[in-house]
Chain A
Amino acid sequence: MLTIPPSIVFKGYLFAVPALVLALSLPLFAFGGPVAAILAPIVSAVCYFTIRSLLSQISIVREEKCFLDEQLIQTQKLAAIGELSAGIAHEINNPLAIIAQEIEWARYQFDEERQTETSSAELKDSLNEIAVQVERCREITHKLLDFARKKDPLIQGVEINKLIEDMARLVEREATQKDIRIIRQYCGSLPPVHTDPPLLRQVILNLLNNATYAIGENGTIEIKTRILSGSFVELVVSDTGCGISKENLSKIFDPFFTTKPPGKGTGLGLSICHGIVVRLGGRFAVESELGKGTSFFVRIPIFYQSREVK
């Protein structure tokens, strides 16, 4: 990687080379006679101009590399957007198809000749379904906007165990109704963590909700916190739910990937969580065994450092 700042080196040469020429010529003149004295500056001049042109070449190459790097990032971004757009289109086309059909069916009900008792009931039902599908689309687009909006985290000192406990208590009420226990294993010596509290709450709530869904009824969710070598805190949410298959494991952070039936869940939750954790300077990982359960690992730095876009 070229990290030479050419202008400084260039200026250095402007002074160093003539000094070198002088320093070399004098003894040559003394010992080597006039021929040597004439040759020495010529050789030095040649060196000087060679070095100068080399430096400008280096600076050109560096600029090109920067440009290419930017292009690569742009291309990758465009590819990601392309993929996302295809996903969005697909997700929205299904509700649209249903809406189109309901409208056709409703129009059919309006036909005078066919007016029956059941017509208005069918009409009502179709309109209802249209509303449901519109809501589904709305959820998709809103989640997308959220996903796209890069919110810079606002950093505050957070008691992680307390934050998690608040979310756990929220989930617990519904969980106990389904015979799901939530076990806490909080590390007692966690320092306050400098991170964005509402963003982290979103992640925890999402993970707890997914865990509940994965279990269905009768199971356990375990929440653990601990300090990782020096400057990271790790939160683990484990469940005894259905687990994730090996082939799905690599896809779960993809936007729109979902194993839920159509209309239930947009598949954006985990990808948003992943985005948040990355923005918080952390790492998001998963381990799972089909039929046994899943564990999500969220590691965040104790002291937030804004990440440069590489």
Chain B
Amino acid sequence: MHKIRVLIIDDEPDFLETIVKRLMKRKMDATGVGSGEDALSLIENESFDVAILDMRMPGMDGIETLKELKRKSPLTEVIMLTGHASVESGMQGMQFGAFDYMIKPADFEELVEKVNQAGERRRLHEERIQKS
């Protein structure tokens, strides 16, 4: 059972560091980046099972990042994360292929559960592709 590879994209450095550490403790392979642009350059060379994406960042915004992420790495399941809950962005995100949506402050256990569910989905998706 391989470790789930998680990419966390958030412009708050403290939050980022904490989440990465805690996910590592849960035996996940976690990496953190501070912007959408950094995330997109990273995925050129590395692949991730799940991405946790902050929807409100300066520079490239959440929806744009989501779209590019899904385009470049369609199998990566994306969990949207934001302190500013907007139904509009939630619906948009789901339409553009996000797996789930969490409101900050996020309960860590819930986050882990969602990451696991997203990871499971990624695995199922890969299996289906391999079968066809």
A residues adjacent to B (C-beta < 8 A): 142-143, 146, 152, 154-156, 166-167, 169-171, 173-174, 197-198, 201-202, 205-206, 208-209, 212
Contact = CB atoms under 8 A, between A and B. Distances in A.
Interface stretch (B24-32, B38-46, B56-64, B95-103): B95-103
B73 interface: no
Interface string B87-98: 100110011011
B100 A166 contact: yes
Binding site secondary structure of chain B = helix
8 contacts: A143-B95, A154-B125, A166-B102, A170-B85, A170-B101, A170-B103, A173-B85, A198-B94
B46 to A, nearest CB: 24
B54 to A, nearest CB: 15
Given A156-B121, A197-B117, A170 B128 contact: no
B94 A205 contact: yes
Contacts of A208: 87
Contact of A212 (B87, B101, B128): B87
A-B pairs with lowest CB-CB distance, top 10: A173-B85, A202-B94, A170-B90, A198-B99, A154-B124, A170-B85, A171-B87, A205-B91, A209-B87, A174-B87
A198 B100 contact: yes
Given A166-B101, A169-B103, A170-B90, 4 more contacts: A166-B100, A174-B85, A198-B97, A205-B87
A209 B103 CA distance: 17
B11 interface: no
For chain B, which range describes its interface: under 10, 10 to 19, 20 to 34, or 35 or more residues?
Answer: 20 to 34
Contacts of A173: 85, 103
A283 B103 CA distance: 30
A181 to B, nearest CB: 16
A128 B101 CA distance: 32
Contacts of A206: 91
Contacts, number: 55
Contacts of A167: 90, 101
Contact of B99 (A142, A170, A197): A197
A206 B98 CA distance: 15
Interface in B75-130: 85-87, 90-91, 94-95, 97-103, 117, 120-121, 124-125, 128
Interface of B: 85-87, 90-91, 94-95, 97-103, 117, 120-121, 124-125, 128
Contacts of B87: 170-171, 174, 205, 208-209, 212
B95 A154 contact: no
Contacts of A143: 95
A108 B40 CA distance: 44
A197 B102 CA distance: 14
A169 B125 CA distance: 28
Nearest to B114: A166
B86 A201 contact: no
A277 to B, nearest CB: 15
B4 to A, nearest CB: 15
A173 B101 CA distance: 14
A174 B97 CA distance: 23
A197 B95 contact: no
A205 B121 contact: no
A176 B87 CA distance: 13
B91 A209 contact: yes
A56 B95 CA distance: 52
